[in-house]
Structure 1
Amino acid sequence: MSAVIAKPVMRGLLAKRLRFHLAMAFTLSFAMAASVRFLLGDSRKKAYADFYKKYDAMKSFEDMRAAGVFESVKPK
């Protein structure tokens, strides 16, 4: 004897799958955004802050002027 196979339920299948996949997509995207912010963003902000604490713009300008980088400024 052969057993009768039940028909698959097709009504509402797309909506059910979309709800699941949209929820997963939003959850994963928020998790990735948070991990990028905490792992990369904060460390880069700290690196920039540390660089600009020691950075002297006038000294950098004088070094570039002495090297002849600028065309409109005469080197000393």
Structure 2
Amino acid sequence: MSLPKPVMRGLLAKRLRFHLPIAFGVAITTALLYKFAVTEPRKKAYANFYKHYDAVKEFKAMREAGIFESVRPAGK
């Protein structure tokens, strides 16, 4: 008893018809999950931070702490 020959003709097309929709589905699901789990909360966090951020106040605090070499502390 011999083994039957494998069917090679059209094998790639047959496998692509099965795997391509699955690959697209996984890719789209991953992209949507990343968008709503990472990107949107990050955008909200940045918006909230900059809503209350005062750059001048932050600059003055860093200047007083002596972080900048080229800027003298106020009052000197």
- Shorter-chain TM range is 0.7 to 0.9
TM-score by length of structure 1 reads 0.82
Q: 2:51 aligns with which of 50, 53, 56?
A: 53
Counterparts of 1:16 and 1:66 in 2: how far apart (Å)? Answer: 70
**Mapping of residues 1-76 of structure 1, within 5 Å:** 6-76=4-74
Letter in 2 for 1:12: G
Q: Which moved more, 1:18-27 or 1:59-68?
A: 18-27
Letter in 2 for 1:48: Y
Question: How far apart are 1:25 and its partner, in Å?
Answer: 1.6
Question: How far apart are 1:7 and its partner, in Å?
Answer: 3.9
Q: Percent identity?
A: 58
TM-score by length of structure 2 reads 0.82
| C-alpha RMSD of matched pairs (Å) | 1.8
Structure 2: gaps (5+ residues):
none
Question: How far apart are 1:5 and its partner, in Å?
Answer: 5.9
